[in-house]
Amino acid sequence: MPVGASIGSDQMNNILTAFAVQLRNACRQISNLNLSVNGQGAGLAYLQSIGYSNTSNPANPGSVSDAALALSVISYLNTVAGVYFGTATQGTTFNFDQQLSEVWGGQVGT
């Protein structure tokens, strides 16, 4: 008998359902975040109004402001959610994992 437990179709079904629901929920939350920030077309101003600086920050990629970086991250996340919901496409190769890594806060793996 090999070491470790084998899984059956019921367990695999539970895994697939859990991942599909988690992905759907995460994409819906991302879409809602984008709507709350950019819904009036003034995302950068909104982010500044809640405390993000609009001053160039050399610690950020390209020395963009904290508000601009946050807006970019929201945009990247929203593109992924849009692809999930079928409302957006990503026409070129783009490494979302790499782009979002700047806000992982040291959380490299689980």
From CA 85, how far away is CA 78, in angstroms rounded?
10
Q: Per-domain residue ranges for the chain? A: 9-95
From CA 76, how far away is CA 53, in angstroms rounded?
20
What does each C-alpha distance from 53 to 16, 67, 82 come to in angstroms?
Answer: 41, 6, 28
Give residue 70's pLDDT. Answer: 97
From CA 51, how far away is CA 14, in angstroms rounded?
42
Whole-model pTM: value is 0.86
Give residue 1's pLDDT. Answer: 56
From CA 33, how far away is CA 25, in angstroms rounded?
12
From CA 1, how far away is CA 39, in angstroms rounded?
58
* Per-residue model confidence as pLDDT tens digits over 62-107: 999 999 999 999 999 999 999 999 999 988 999 999 999 988 888 8
